[in-house]
Chain A
Amino acid sequence: MSSCHGGAPRTNLLPNPAIPLPRAAHDHPIIVAIVGPPNSGKSTLFNRLTGLRQKVANFPGVTVEHRMGKAKLKDEQEVFLVDLPGVYSLHPRAEDEQVTHDVLKGERPDFPKPDAVILILDSTNLGRNLVLAAPILSLGMPTLILLNMADDLALRGGKVDVAALSAELNSPVALVSATKGTGIDRVQQFLLATAAKLSTVALPRVELPVLQDVPKCRQWAAKLGVRASYKAPSPPLWTRRLDTVFLHPIAGPVIFAAVVIAVFQSIFSWAQPAMEGLKQAVAASGHWMTSVLPDTPFRSLLIDGVWSGVGAVVVFLPQILLLFLFIGILEDSGYLARAALIADRTMAKFGLQGKSFIPLLSSYACAVPAVMATRVIENKRDRIATIMIAPLMTCSARLPVYTLLIAAFVPNIPILRGVLYLPAATMLSLYVLGFLAALFTARMLKSTILKSQRSSFVLEMPPYRWPTLRSLALRLIDRAKIFLTRAGTVILLVAISIWVLAHLPLQHGKTPPLEHSYAGMVGKGVEPAIKPLGFNWKIGIGLITSLAAREVIVGTLGTIYGIEGDEPSEGLQKAVRKDLSPAGAVALLIFFAFAMQCFSTIAIVKRETGGWKWPIFQFSYMLALAYSGSWIAYRLASHFLT
């Protein structure tokens, strides 16, 4: 069969007449869908083909995420690629399988039917992976079948006759390595042929088993494997060796704890130089603007409002990227599945299961993707419980607040014989606190309103793989974009409004002291409510603005102190020490650990749970927890700290 060789248009394959040809005239750009089972390297391929020309999107009405990207082909042709969720079959049971099914069949009104499909399978376990080929090929669309991890297959002594498989399926088949890039030219050829609307791209013509019957599909796949002389590779020795260590009864949990501690320690020490550098750059550019601009209200707005507000937040970018880098490495290497396994027993005690651990871990970065990631949990009540506790995990937006307060109040002294420094230990205990609050809440919910039978835990352990630089870099660029967009929109807006509110109403044509400005009045208005927690009215202004997003408080304080005319070199840390007692700082840390100050999370929870009931419950619960928690913390800390 020639269909797998060469890129020249092929004319020797007659499409199955029963299957209609793809539309000749396209009223939409060419779209090619990438489909594959979980852990088949789908995202790696997508990243390789699209690079930076991609973005994450959501299908309206459902929670399933997909990524769209543009693949640049040789002669300036463009093809849109859509990375569909990883599925084992097209049985419309779970939401993501339903979406994959509907998109491929052209049954989603909001998404045009793709022109072709790239089916990516793990060649090291071809027998089981080919099961997905049956429902995909039966769609009758031009399909390129990629057998990924070809390097791994060869290394471990496996073999497959690509030409024979291609002949069996009447579709082009290619061995590729998405990580190394070998065989990717074959994908380019397929995309070119699709873009040129060549009706000569072969349509699959296969005898298909009963699609809903898994054993029959598996038998069909096994038969195919035999005809393609598939020789399964030897077992992944390195994965087994690593598992012996990582899942060791004693070493396993110890390594897990060590990894977590190392991450937190390095977030503090490694990010420090970059953060200092950014801080200096923000300060220096502020000085420079002060010197070149005339002394007008506009200069004040730009420097005291925008520059101190947005700048105060932007300096935390290195820390957030470092955190996402670590989570990315854990996820891409395959360690996260092991972590879920280790966590299952503990999670079961709190009425949850190991799979809840994965969204909970990603909510260390951000609760929004975490809430979306809960769809791996089949049990609805488990899923809602996980959504309810996700925002209690310490997300990266809390980092700027924690860092500011810790740097301002916690002395840098070694503890535990210098293994850990007090600031890192404080940070770590805040993370633990959030985690414990989450578990406590889960326990409470699962034994009352979300009671259900013990659910099942079925999780495939993928082989360990080296995370690729490309995927990690794309992740970080994505994150940086989101963070800076937020700094440039929400935080900028808040900074400007705070500046305006802090300068009005004019008294005798001059700006009033902060205390008598509108912002001050609002702060004074909430002061009675927050005084028992040890916060004054300035912190009150910050608390109100931080309802939009937690890190906004840092920007707000930056703006307020900028207006108050503190020496810029004095910095936010020193300024905040004037307004908070050490006990108040402890209370503020606790408040931020528990409160749900994030519009984006509230919105996503509303969408995921299909109404206002759960987000309102969650917001009130977390506020009550935050208020009572920081009240107790303030009492205790006032007693012990002088």
Chain B
Amino acid sequence: MRPKVKGRKVRSGKNVPPTVVHTLAELPMGQRCILDHLELPEDIARRLMELGFLPGNEVIPARRAPGGGPRIFRVDGSEVALRHETAARVFIRRDPESDLVVLP
């Protein structure tokens, strides 16, 4: 029991502070961001770009699949579902005027 707790603490200590968001996967629901770049295999990157995941475009995580599956992102006029591990390779920069968007 004890080593488990210890281990978790050590890991979280190594993590970057939670306030700095680097990728789409870490972005809270409803918060807009600007896409910076993709670090994905060429074919997936291309498909994502065709769907609107282009550098400079605005992306908002809008919904989560029931049971914690992939998340739906609003991007370039449509909604696209991505798994966590794919979203974790999509790097973002925060919109300077970022604010919580009220979801309908």
Binding site for B on A (CB under 8 A): 88-89, 91, 93, 124-125, 127-128, 131, 214-215, 218, 232, 235, 237, 240-241, 243-244, 247-250, 252-253, 337, 341-342, 344-345, 348, 353-354, 378, 454, 456-461
Min CB distance, A375 to chain B, in Å?
14
Q: Contact between B50 and A342 (Cβ–Cβ < 8 Å)?
A: no
Cα of A253 to Cα of B67 in the assembled complex, Å: 9
* Chain B residues within an 8 Å CB radius of A252: 66
CB distance from B58 to the nearest CB of A (A): 12
Q: Let me know if B66 and A457 touch, CB within 8 A.
A: no
The one of B50, B54, B63, B86 in contact with A243, judged by C-beta atoms closer than 8 angstroms, is B63
With A88-B51, A461-B72: A342-B66 Cβ-Cβ less than 8 Å: yes
- For the complex, give the distance between the alpha carbons of A127 and B51 in Å: 11
Whether A454 and B80, one on each chain, are in contact in the complex, defined by CB atoms closer than 8 angstroms, is no
Number of A-B contacts (CB under 8 A): 112
Q: Is the CB of B77 within 8 A of A457?
A: no
Q: Does B95 contact A (CB under 8 A)?
A: no
Minimum CB distance partner of B47 in chain A = A458
A348 partner residues in chain B, CB cutoff 8 A: 69, 83
Q: In this assembly, does B79 line the interface, its C-beta being within 8 Å of a C-beta of chain A?
A: yes
Do B69 and A344 have beta carbons less than 8 Å apart? yes
A88-B50, A342-B69, A461-B81 given. 8 additional CB < 8 A pairs?
A: A93-B43, A127-B77, A240-B104, A341-B65, A342-B65, A342-B67, A458-B81, A461-B78
A348, B46: Cα distance in complex, Å? 23
Q: Is the CB of A458 within 8 A of B63?
A: no
B18 on interface, CB distance cutoff 8 Å = no
Report yes or no: A125 in contact with B78, Cβ–Cβ below 8 A: yes
Pick the contact of A454: B40, B63, B85 (CB < 8 A): B85
How distant is the Cα of A250 from the Cα of B67 in the complex, in angstroms?
A: 8
| B residues adjacent to A (C-beta < 8 A) | 40, 43-44, 46-52, 54-55, 63-70, 72, 76-83, 85-86, 104
B73 nearest CB neighbor, chain A only: A461
* Cβ–Cβ contact A341 & B69, under 8 A: yes
B43: chain A residues at CB < 8 Å are 93, 378
A348 to B65, CA, bound (A): 13
Contact of B52 among A128, A354, A454 (CB under 8 A): A128
Q: Are A247 and B66 in contact (CB under 8 A)?
A: yes
Picked from B50, B55, B66, B82, the residue with its CB within 8 Å of the CB of A249 is B66
Cβ of A366 to closest chain B Cβ, rounded Å = 27
Residues B46 and A91 in contact, CB atoms below 8 Å apart: yes
Pick the contact of A461 from B48, B54, B67, B80 — CB < 8 Å?
B80
- Contact, CB under 8 Å: B81 / A215: no
Contacts of B55 in A (CB 8 A): 215
Q: Which residue of A lies closest to B49 (CB)?
A: A214
Question: Could you tell me if B104 and A354 are in contact, using CB atoms closer than 8 angstroms?
Answer: no
A457 lies within 8 A of B83 (CB): yes
Do A457 and B50 touch across chains, with their CB atoms under 8 A apart? no
Whether A345 pairs with B67 at a CB distance below 8 angstroms is yes
Given contacts A131-B50, A214-B50, contact A458 B82 (CB under 8 A): yes
* A–B Cβ pairs within 8 angstroms, 11 of them: A89-B46, A125-B78, A128-B77, A241-B104, A244-B104, A253-B67, A344-B81, A345-B67, A454-B85, A458-B44, A458-B81
A215 touches B48 (CB 8 A): no
State A342–B70 Cα separation when bound (angstroms).
Answer: 9
> When chains A and B are docked, how far (Å) is the Cα of A253 from the Cα of B55?
35
Instruction: Report the minimal beta-carbon distance from A381 to chain B, rounded to whole angstroms.
Output: 15
Q: Closest B residue to A91 by CB, please name it.
A: B46
Cα–Cα, bound, A125→B74 (Å): 12
Name the A residues within 8 Å of B70 (CB-CB): 341, 344-345, 354, 457, 459
B46, B51, B64, B82: which contacts A457 (Cβ < 8 A)? Answer: B82
Query: Which A residues are CB-close (under 8 A) to B72?
Result: 243, 247, 341, 461
Asked whether, in the complex, the Cβ of B65 is within 8 Å of the Cβ of A247, the reply is yes
Cβ contacts under 8 Å, A91 to chain B: 46
Judge whether B69 and A460 touch: CB under 8 Å. Answer: no
Whether B80 and A458, one on each chain, are in contact in the complex, defined by CB atoms closer than 8 angstroms, is: yes
Contact check, B81 vs A341: say whether CB atoms are below 8 A apart.
yes
A456 touches B104 (CB 8 A): no
Contact, CB under 8 Å: A237 / B104: yes
A405 to chain B, nearest CB (A): 35
By beta carbon, the residue of chain A nearest B57 is: A218
B54 and A458 form a contact (CB under 8 A): no
What are the 10 tightest A-B residue pairs by CB atom distance, in nearest-first order?
A345-B69, A125-B77, A214-B49, A88-B50, A252-B66, A461-B79, A344-B69, A341-B65, A457-B83, A249-B66
- A345 vs B85: C-alpha distance in the bound complex, in angstroms? 13
Chain A's closest residue to B44 (CB) is: A456
B43 to chain A, nearest CB (A): 6
> Shortest distance in angstroms between A72's beta carbon and chain B's nearest beta carbon?
35
- Cβ–Cβ contact B46 & A344, under 8 A: no
CB–CB A128/B69 < 8 A = no
Partner of B54, one of A214, A247, A345, A456: A214
Chain B residues near A248: list those with CB within 8 A: 66
CB-contact partner of B86 in A88, A232, A458, under 8 A: A458
